[in-house]
């Protein structure tokens, strides 16, 4: 890993980052995604990312959320509901629990997906892969009492 990536990982594991990042990174990602015609996210300079469009659990309206993801070899994605290590589950995870049919924008293409909350050994394997991919997830989990939700997205 290069020095810059190591520094970003170290910074992203801090409580200060967890306090500030949710208010800065998603809005910047949305703006870059819109300006690039859906081809790019600012955060993809460090991690692969998708824009998830899910149905709001309470509103029933489409909710667009830029998210880091772990692309899978078979064409699916792993999403980690870390919420930057903050206490509550991110809203998008509740949306997927209520309505698993969603859409991701991946590299400028809209792709219909079905989400599945991972549990048991499947979740344990995915969590190990997530930690190998982005070690700060361990710091996020250590700060919260909830189990971070992991979702597998498969193309419909």
Q: Which carries the bigger pLDDT value, residue 12 or residue 130?
A: 130
pLDDT in tens, 62-117: 999 999 999 999 999 999 999 989 999 999 999 999 999 999 999 889 999 999 99
60: containing domain: 3-155
Specify the pTM. 0.81
Q: Tell me which H or E stretch contains 27.
A: helix 15-35
Bridge partner residues of 152 (DSSP): 78, 116
Beta carbons within 8 Å of 121's beta carbon, 6+ residues apart: none
| Domains: count for the chain | 1
pLDDT at residue 38, as a whole number: 67
Give the CA angle between residues 111, 116, 121 to the nearest 5°: 130
pLDDT at residue 30, as a whole number: 72
CA distances for 15 relative to 8, 12, 83, 85, 94, angstroms: 14, 8, 12, 8, 24
1-5, 42-46, 54-58, 130-134: range with lowest mean pLDDT: 42-46
The single residue listed with the structure tokens 């790019």 is 40
CA distances for 66 relative to 41, 124, 146, angstroms: 8, 24, 22
Print the SS3 string covering 103-141.
EEEECCEEEEEEEEECCHHHHHHHHHHHHHHCCHHHHHH
The CATH number of residue 98's host domain is 2.30.110.10
């Amino acid at each position: 890993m290069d020095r810059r990536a190591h520094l970003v990982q170290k910074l992203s594991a801090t409580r200060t980052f967890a306090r500030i990042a949710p208010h800065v990174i998603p809005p910047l990602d949305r703006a870059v995604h819109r300006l690039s015609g859906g081809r790019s996210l600012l955060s993809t300079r460090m991690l692969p990312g998708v824009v998830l469009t899910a149905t709001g659990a309470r509103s029933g309206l489409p909710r667009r959320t830029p998210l880091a993801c772990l692309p899978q070899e078979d064409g699916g994605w792993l999403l980690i509901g870390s919420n930057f290590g903050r206490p509550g589950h991110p809203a998008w995870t509740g949306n997927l629990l209520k309505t698993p049919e969603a859409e991701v924008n991946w590299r400028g293409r809209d792709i219909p997906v079905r989400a599945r909350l991972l549990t048991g050994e499947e979740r344990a394997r995915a969590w190990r892969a997530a930690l190998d991919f982005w070690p700060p997830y361990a710091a996020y989990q250590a700060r919260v009492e909830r189990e971070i939700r992991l979702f597998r997205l498969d193309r419909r």
